[in-house]
Amino acid sequence: MHPLLLPLLVTGCSLSLLSCCSQEAPAAAPVAPAAEASNTVPATTPSVETPATSPTNPSEPAAMPTQPTGYNKLTAEEARVILQKGTEWRGTGEYTSNKAKGTYLCRQCNIPLYTSDQKFESNCGWPSFDDEIEGRVDRHPDPDGMRVEIVCANCQGHLGHVFEGEGFTDKNIRHCVNSISMRFVPAGQELPKPIVLPKAK
């Protein structure tokens, strides 16, 4: 091999590995997932979740909201994601590769959100669904206007983000959901009673 070609080959391999790692970071990766600039991206580069930060100081985490009394008690990590709009590390969620039949509920209020028939493999590192149970998921544009957040329609707990135009399924939509925001109930098991609190006047 000509000695002048070696640096080019090394550089090309390095760039390829960097691109791969940016989409499939290992669980122990010390850096947070990268934010996407658009809600519509090619199918080969699925958009990723990003940890919440303070709107006044992006270098600081957002303040922890208080959980309304009456819902399922959350652990500190569950509260960080569901209340503070945080994000699990890519590839670490309990349900990312779950293929069992059943129903995915909101972890905070037990409302059914998705069915296993709506789940698909996107290889983005988080559970992906191409539809929700009708009326159970609300959408809110992020403050920066770059993405669309999805929350439980009942308790407004943070689920993740929704992306369109990626071409993964015929519905051309992907709900990118944190596993920790949900609870999975296998088919045939009784679903817990939903917790619906009175609306504040």
Calculate the alpha carbon distances from 126 to 45, 139, 144, 189 in Å: 14, 18, 22, 24
Structure confidence at residue 54 (pLDDT): 45
Which position has the token pair 């922890």?
64
Structure confidence at residue 60 (pLDDT): 54
Per-residue pLDDT band at 110 (split at 50, 70, 90): very high
Residue 31: is its pLDDT beyond 70? no
Residue predicted with more confidence, 148 or 7: 148
Read off the pLDDT of residues 58-103 as tens digits, 9 standing for 90 and up: 455 556 678 889 999 999 999 999 999 999 999 999 999 999 999 9
Provide the 10 A C-beta neighbour count for residue 5: 9
Residue 201: is its pLDDT beyond 70? no
Give me 39's structure tokens: 């809600």
Handedness of CA 76, 182, 101, 127 (dihedral sign): negative
Rounded mean pLDDT, 144-152: 96
Round to whole Å and give the CA distance between 201 and 189: 36
97: nearest Cα among 19, 6, 7, 184: 184
Burial label for 194, CB within 10 Å (0-12, 13-18, 19+), is middle
Mean pLDDT over each residue of the chain, to the nearest integer: 79
Cα-flanking dihedrals φ and ψ of residue 160, to 5°?
Answer: 165, -135
Domains along the chain with CATH numbers: 46-186 (2.170.150.20)
**Is 176 a catalytic site residue?**
yes
CB contact at 8 A, 178 and 77: no
Catalytic, out of 106, 124, 152, 176:
176
Read off the pLDDT of residues 161-198 as tens digits, 9 standing for 90 and up: 999 999 999 999 999 999 999 999 999 999 999 999 99
